[in-house]
Structures are given as C-alpha cells and as structure tokens.
Amino acid sequence: MQRWAACCLLAVFAFGAGHSFAQEPSPSHTTASNAEKGPVVLPPPSEKAVQFYRSGNVLWAIREVWDLLVPAIILFTGFSARMRRFAAWAGRYWFFTIAIFAAVYTLLTFAANLPLDYYAQYVRMHAYGLSNQTLGKWAQDTLIALAIEMVVTALFLWVPYLLLKKSPKRWWLYTGLLMYVFFAIVFFVKPIAIDPMFNDFGSMKDKALEQKILALADRAGIEGSDVFEVNKSEDTKAINAYVTGIFNTGRIVLWDTTIKGLSEDQLLYVMAHEMGHYVLYHAYFAIAFMGTLMLIGLYVIHRASGWVIARYGSRIGFDRLSDVASYPLIMVLLSATMFVLTPASNAYSRYNEHEADRFGLELTQDNHAAASAFVKLFQENLGYPYPHPLIKLWRSTHPPLGERVQFCNEYKPWAEGKPLVYGHLFRESETAPQ
C-alpha cells in the first residue's frame, strides 16, 4: 500500500513491502531462433485500458485529498481532543490511554475510508474485469488488515510519544533511527506472519518448472532459494510476481495467475527479474531509503507542528505535541511531506526495477521472452504504456511499460561482445541460456 502516512510513528500501517516484478556468459548462449523473432511490438492500449488509466488518476487524486482531509477534520473540529479525554477516562494509566486512543482513531478512520476503499478495491476492480474476489473474501481481508493495524498501533504508538515526553528536541531523530529497525522487522516478519493471513502460500505444483526456476536461481548465484506459489486467482485476474522478506525469510512469490498466463520462457524471465531484486539486495536498500524518508518526515513534523499548535491550540484542544491528541496533526504533516517526497521515492523504485530488468535480460539473454512478457502484463493488467510525465512522477513505482518493452527489445550487450553489467554475479552452469 502505498500511503506514506500509514508508515508514521513505527510504521503502524506499513505491512506492504517488497518488489513486484562465476564467469560472464558468452555471446554463443543466444541462438539464431531467438534473434530471428525480432522486436516485440507493443499494441496500443484498449479503450478499457485508457478508461482504467484515466479513472485511476482521478481516484488517486481523490485519495490523496481524502487522506489529508480525514485527519484534518478530526484535528480541527476538536474531536481528537475529545477522543483523548475519553481514552484517559477509560484507560486511566498513560500507556492504556495511548492504546485506547490508537484503537479508537484507527476505527474512526477505517469507517471514514470504507466507502472509498470498497469502491476502489472491490467495485472498480470487478467493473473492469480484473477481480475474482467475492464480497465475503474482500470483507474478510479488510477486517484482517484492520485487526493488524489496530493491534500494531495500540502496541507501539507509545514509543514516539514517550520520546516526545523525554526528549522534545530530539524525539524526531530517535524515532527516525528506530524506524530503520522497525522497517527491518516488518520486512522480516511479513512473509511468514502477515502474508499467509490473506492467501495460501505453498510450493510450486509444477515440479518440472520449479526445477528450471531453481536452476536459473543457481546461475544467478542464489543458494537455497525458496519459490512460493500463491493462490491469487481467488482474488484477481491480474498477473504478478514479487520478492519479499530479508535474511532467512527472503523469498520469491509467484502468483498462480502468472503461471497460467505466461509461457514458460516468459515466466523464466519474470523469475530472473525477481532474482535480480534478491541478488542486488534491493530489500535492504529499500529499508535504508524508507527509513531516511521517514526521518525527513519526522523532522518536518518537529519543525512545523509548533507553529500549528501555537496558532490553533485553543481550537484543536492541546498545547504540546507530546499529547496523544496530536496524532492526527502528525498524520496530516507526514502525509503532506511524503506527498512532496513521492517523486524521489518513485524514481528510486523505478531505478531498482530497471536494474532488475537488466539483470533478468543478462541472465536469460532472451529479449523476445522479456518484451513479450511485458506485453502480456500490459494486456492482462489493463496497462497504459506511456503515462503523462506528472503521473509518472507521482504514481509510477515501475518504469512505464512502453519503456520496458523498448529496453527489452534493444538491450543486447552479449550480441555485441560487450561485458555484462552483472555478469560477474553469474555462475557457469549446464543450464545456461540456449
């Protein structure tokens, strides 16, 4: 999910993370049959895809405004202060006051967001033919996510507020440093404790295909790799794969829709792309990058909150940031800051995805399979090949599909006898590309 405010103060809502989609091998690995296939042509988007793109942009804009508006209303109506008074009465002790406030706030924002979430996640996806999810499954997943959010918020929101009390001038620094640790814990725990709550994860059913993927992983320098097949067909018709986890929970996850929707050579390229994320340590760099963005966001909160409290203190009902009633203020300021930083975050993500594309091409040396896989992704997921530059800046975490297909068609250093960027990471193997 990609709401930055939800990562605030120990990343209360941040449970969606991951990357979605030796000797250097010699030029002889590429056969004439692959070369003769020629470049893949990206067809124009369908009318439905254009509508999906445009309506998605409108929905994104509404969501951005709504995510600022909801906590702002709670804050400036004084309702946050009344919630704090109730929490103090019900909890009596400071820790329980924080926990009760967190739970009530989470329920309140959940209720405020529910109509928009229902439309965006259920109604719209069915309207465009992208979802298989029943209303019962959607409701179940939504309530599970709510329960996780409430528990984590109630358990950990006290940490930054304790730091605010103990060190009002440096709380942002200490909280920001703790965010690096927290993000690492989330990345570690998510694959084994969170993801299985929503879908069934298991070993691949096609053992012959699994052996080919493991052989490819061996060439990529990955030892003891785990590939999981997840039954996403109960939720969606879209195709995808991703890397998640760190240390011994790191794994490559393959949707069953992807296995059904792609040819074997296309699927092997997708796997090579995901292996690129794994080998290039993108998850670890993501933790560092996200932690740095949070540190910047917390500093902005530290600098800006004093002015807001001084100007509107009588209206909002508190006179210091260490009052838990300030939580909506923190969410508003963090959301605004992360909106400004989103282009930098997306650019970093697009760079990682581009390098994973390069890694996959160098590992498989099958340009046609790579480009045609992206065309298939484009068609099945109602993709739009070249979004507006501003949309690319604020919404695109991956390179536009048109750019990816073009790169896959043109990038062939092995055919020109040039060294590979990642060739030093590959192992010689009898299963090299043929």
Catalytic machinery residues? 274
Rounded CA-CA distance 7/69 in Å is 18
Taking the C-alpha atoms of residue 332 and residue 121, their distance in angstroms, rounded to an integer, is 24
Closest by CA to 45, choosing from 56, 30, 59, is 56
Q: CA-CA distances (angstroms) from residue 335 to 56, 83, 228, 342?
A: 20, 21, 34, 10
B/e letters for 97-110, b = 16+ CB within 10 Å, e = fewer, are bbbbbbbbbbebbb
Cβ(368)–Cβ(327) under 8 Å? no
Give the pairing of strands 227-230 and 251-255.
parallel
Nearest to 272 by CA among 383, 199, 367, 414: 367
Which residues share a beta bridge with 86? none
